[in-house]
Structures are given as C-alpha cells and as structure tokens.
Chain A
Amino acid sequence: MIDRFLEMTSVMWRNRVRTALTSLSVAWGIFMLVLLLGFGKGLQNNVEYEFRDDATNSVWIYPGKTTKPFDGYPVGRRLGFTNRDHDAIAVGIEGVEHITSRFYPGGDLVRWGERDGSFEVRATHPDHKYLENTIIVGGRFLNDRDIDEKRKVAVVGREVVKQLFRGADPLGEWITVRGVLFRVVGVFEDTGGDDEEAMIYLPITTAQSAFAGGESVRQIMFTVGDASVEQTDAMTEEARLMLARRHHFSPEDTRAVRVRNNVERFAQVKQIFALLGGFVWIVGLGTVMAGIVGVSNIMLVSVKERTREIGIRKALGATPGSIVGMILTEALLLTGVSGYAGLVVGVASLEAINRFVPENDYIRSPDVDLGVAVAALGLLTVAGAIAGLVPAIRAASVDPIVALRDE
C-alpha cells in the first residue's frame, strides 16, 4: 500500500504543474460548494432571525368588515371582538396552547415624574409573553391576579428604562399612562429588537376599565403548540366558524375576520429556503462536477502519455487489475487531497466572514454543519472514483505490443 502510494506520488510529482492545476479545479469546486452552502445557511439563519420576534406557531385573528349579507344583517358591518370571544376560543378550540387578546389604550405619552416619553402601550393577557417572545430580565410579567383584580401594574421594555428612566431602576416606580398611574413590576427584553423593547404592557382588564374600553379587544392571538400546518389550518377554520356563529356573519364571508396564520407563513418561507437549499446544492454539485470532469480529462491525457510506461509495466507482469488500481488511486488521491483542501479553505473562509463581516440584513452566521462536511467528503470519494474509472479502464486496455513497438 505504501509502495503503491510512493509509485503514485512520484508520477504526480513528475507532472506537478498539471497536477496542481487539476487539484485547483477540484479544490475550487468544493470551495464553491461549501461557500454556497454556507451562504444558503446564512440566508436561512437570517430569515429565521427575522421570524424571531413572534412565536412562529401562532395564529392572529383581527375583526374585519362583513362582505356578505347574513341573518338579516347588511353588508359592510364592522365587527368587534370582546373578552367573551377570547374566552370562547380559549375554551372551545381544541389545541390552543397560549392565548392572549390585545387592547390598545391609545395615546402614547407616558410620564414618570417630570419626564415623559412616547412609547407604544399594549394591554394584554399574561400569555402574551409566549406570543412575542418576551423575556423578563427584572421583576415579573403580568399574571392572572393582575387580570382578575384589575391591578394597575405595568411591565416596561429596556428601551423604556433607557429613555424614560435614564437607566434608573424602574421597579416599584409609578408611571402615568393617559392620566392613570401604573406601578412598574417588571422589565423585559424582546428578541424582536429595540422597537419591541420601547413598549409598555398593561393588564388588559385594567386597561379596558381605566380607558373606557368596555369588554372590547382589538385582536386575539394564540399559539398551537407543535401542531402541523394542516392541524393549524383546521383550528383556524374552527375558530373562524365559531366567530361567524357568535357575530352572525356568513361562514363563507372570509373578509369578516382577518386571520394571520404564522404557522403557514413560516412553513411557506421554510419551503422557499428548502428549495433554495436544493438549488444551492445543484449549483455547487455542478461546480464540483466540472472539477471532476477536469480530473477525468487530465487522467485520460496522462494515460495516453504513459501508454509506453503502462506497456512496459504490463510486459513485466502488471495485471490489468493493478493498472486499474494504479490510475484509480491516483484519481482518488488527487480529488481527495485537493477536495479536502478546498473544504478546509471554504470552512475557514466562512469563519472569517463570520468574524469580520458586520451584521447585516441579508446574511447571518453563514455556516456549514458537520453533516454537510462529511457529505462533501463522501461526495469527493465517489467523485474521485468516477473520475478515475474511464481513464483506468483505458489504461488497463493498453496493448503492450502496440505500446512497446519501436517507432
């Protein structure tokens, strides 16, 4: 084995320029494949990052306007949801995991002592934290007793702490929202970034009674656990029909309530990226293929040039098998070593991009995982064998009589 290896390396060394150029084409192919896969992964990471703000397994329902007459009601009636709709969905729809409604008190000027600032105010249920990926970093989020007892408490985002409190500890402080005092009980951060952190959450029941909201809610949102797209669609439809019964609109009237099905949206985006991923593989494999055709070609040339050598070897007792073995191992070595080099350089480049390219809106953490690297290596081995096959068979069929004929 070592013998065979030394035989081969001596042959390759004799043709080192050619060997180097061929290696380069294979290395380049694998390098491009790794880079493409890494960038594909980066794009995908970025999209998943874009979805990070909200739970991807959530469904949002907003009231709309009727577009069909029904049950004696005219067209164009504006619907409104109430706490009872919320309760009906919470109890009546199988598979609802976390549910919250939202009510917007309106008027975004928030005061703390002498200071004031403009922040979005949302009144919600405690489960809201699951739908917005809200992370508590101090104190607590809203809880059920806040809802039941209509407590005047508020949970503020980090931007609020920064802008309104100038970094002071807000816990226990009183802030004024539309003239009503709320005590700050918690501070949160949000994976959605600064905008989502310039936000104040109030208990929905407190806000409804403090700001004359009555029972009304502006939207109902719930998560579906790990339900599939089909299951989620079914749940959504069930909720829509329930609302149709409760609000007397036609079940065919799809505009009466608006539904945002994040499960479906996320599944679609994931599908797009699966397609993109497949495309990236095809392009990458094409590049690798070009490299392999190059190897095959160069090996054919090499075999042709070495016809006499092969003839001599055969006359001295080389079996066809040993000739095939010689050429095949040469091809494998060539593709293996250069491909591995391409792989290493590719991975190193991705690491460098990760480290030195600033965060941007398009690519995030380009990366190849171990599985892909192993797959690429496996591919190389197969490719090497394929690249060597035709030249090897050609070499084995060299007729020593012809090869050794004196010109």
Chain B
Amino acid sequence: MIRLSRINKYYQVGGHPLHVLKDLDLEVRTGEMVAIMGSSGSGKSTLLNILGILDAYDDGEYWLGDTLVKGLSERQAAAYRNRFLGFVFQSFHLLPFKNAVENVALPLYYQGINRRKRNAMAMDYLERVGLKDWAEHLPSEMSGGQKQRVAIARALVGQPRLILADEPTGALDSVTSHEIMDLLKDVNGQGITVVIVTHETDVAAECSRTVRLVDGQFEGVA
C-alpha cells in the first residue's frame, strides 16, 4: 500500500539546511495497522505530512498503491488527499458550525456529490460508528469520544485506501481511548490500511507493527 524509498526532507533554518528525514525506507502492506512512534523533533510529524500529501519531500519516492506521489500540483495533491486518504487528528478538527452529518459529508462535497446523496452516505457512516442519533448535533454538544467517532466517520466516508491518524487518542481519557482504538481496529479489520502516529506505547501495542523514528531515521524496525 505504502512504499517509501530513500525519502529525504530538508528544512531551511536560518539559512542552513536541516536534514529532517534521512533516507527513510518503509513498506506498509494493504490491511496492515502500523504505529509510528517517536519523540518530538524526531521527524514523525514531517513524515505524517508527507504520507498525507500535505508536504513535499526533497528526494526519494513515495508510492501510494500504484501511484507515485511526487511533484504534484496543489490541485492534484488535493484530489489525491480527497480520494486516497482519510485523516484523523488529535483535536478532531471538525467544523464547529456544522452538525455531525454535515461534517462527515464534507469530503464528498469536494468530490462533487450532490447534497442528498452525500448526506445519505454520511448517515450510513455515522451509523457505523454508532452515532446515528447524534447526526443533527453540533460538535460542541458532543463528548471528545463522540467527536473522534465523527472524525473517523468523516475519514471513512470517501472510501480511502489509507487512514492516517495523528495521535487519535491524545485528547481522550483511557476508557474512551480504548473505544476509539477498538473502532480503528474494526476499520482495519475491514481491510483498510491504518497508520497511526503516537507516542503512547499502549496505543502502539494495539497495532500490528510499530516503527520508531529517531532523529529522522527508523530504528530497529520491528
């Protein structure tokens, strides 16, 4: 599903290039659930941005399925994000002025699907995460766990190849964290590849594989 080969990424810091990712190689097979761990400054956010086609890399190759993700225009990157990826963020990033079903339907809006159809699809996915009765509620009326479920439904609604989760349980208590992890495992069980960036070992422990990033390099690939 994902193949990174010799990915390098530099940032210009005060006129000097800072080597953030150093010759990274990674392969994630379809249906895997992989945790990427690392301390802050290890480059894991940068890696996630590259995987999420939000940031470009300087050299190497990133294959997503059979598509080479390289040198994309903003427009192409947006289209790829929309069709191939689903994002789950630590702080949910729901639009506060839209209710649950509208939030879930948003990726479909950018696919040009009409309102009735996308609301029906969004309802379907809300039901799958157990929030059918909360469809008309605004994010501010929901608990953190519920918000993250809505976010997961939103990530799934576009039928992506890959779910990228950035600290998905970082803002939740341990019970809710567990529920969310169960949900993500459930999603993974349906054959969707999941990559989770986290610094919590018990989250990583729930994944089928963990890779550790230290100073821009993988350490002891498990």
Contacts and interface: CB of A to CB of B under 8 A. Distances in A.
Interface of A: 2-3, 6-7, 10-11, 14, 308-309, 311-322, 400-401, 404, 406
A311 B81 CA distance: 13
A398 to B, nearest CB: 11
Given A316-B154, A317-B158, A404-B93, 20 more contacts: A2-B115, A10-B97, A11-B97, A308-B93, A309-B95, A311-B93, A314-B78, A315-B81, A316-B81, A316-B106, A316-B107, A316-B110, A317-B81, A318-B78, A319-B110, A320-B74, A320-B75, A401-B54, A401-B55, A406-B89
- Max chain A CB contacts within 10 Å: which of B91, B94, B109? B109
A152 to B, nearest CB: 91
Contacts of B98: 10
Contact of B82 (A14, A317, A320, A401): A317
27 contacts: A2-B115, A6-B115, A7-B109, A10-B97, A10-B98, A11-B97, A308-B93, A312-B93, A312-B95, A313-B106, A315-B54, A315-B87, A315-B93, A316-B81, A316-B82, A316-B87, A316-B154, A317-B79, A317-B107, A317-B110, A319-B74, A321-B75, A400-B54, A401-B49, A401-B55, A404-B89, A404-B93
B5 interface: no
B78 A406 contact: no
A322 B78 CA distance: 10
Which DSSP category, helix, strand, loop or mixed, fits chain A's interface? helix
Contacts of B110: 313, 316-319, 322
Contact of A3 (B78, B82, B91, B109): B109
B144 to A, nearest CB: 14
B90 interface: yes
B83 interface: yes
Contacts of B74: 319-320
A2 B109 CA distance: 12
A3 B87 contact: no
- Max chain B CB contacts within 10 Å: which of A10, A11, A318, A319? A319
Interface in B57-103: 74-75, 78-79, 81-83, 87, 89-91, 93-95, 97-98
A318 B82 CA distance: 8
Interface of B: 49, 52, 54-55, 74-75, 78-79, 81-83, 87, 89-91, 93-95, 97-98, 106-107, 109-111, 114-115, 154, 158
A255 B111 CA distance: 85
Contacts of B52: 315
- Max chain A CB contacts within 10 Å: which of B79, B82, B93, B107? B93
Nearest to A2: B115
Nearest to B46: A401
A377 B218 CA distance: 62
- Max chain B CB contacts within 10 Å: which of A309, A317, A322, A404? A317
Nearest to B74: A320
The 6 A-B pairs at the shortest CB distance, nearest first, are namely A317-B82, A317-B110, A319-B78, A316-B107, A319-B75, A312-B93
A319 B107 CA distance: 12
Nearest to B78: A319
Nearest to B158: A317
Given A316-B81, A319-B78, A401-B49, A406 B91 contact: yes
Contacts of A321: 75
A76 B27 CA distance: 115
A317 B83 contact: yes
Contacts of A406: 89-91
A145 to B, nearest CB: 85
A192 to B, nearest CB: 67
Contacts of B115: 2-3, 6
Contacts of A2: 115
A269 B59 CA distance: 75
Nearest to A323: B78
A400 B52 CA distance: 11
A319 B55 CA distance: 15
Contacts of B78: 314, 317-320
A116 B90 CA distance: 105
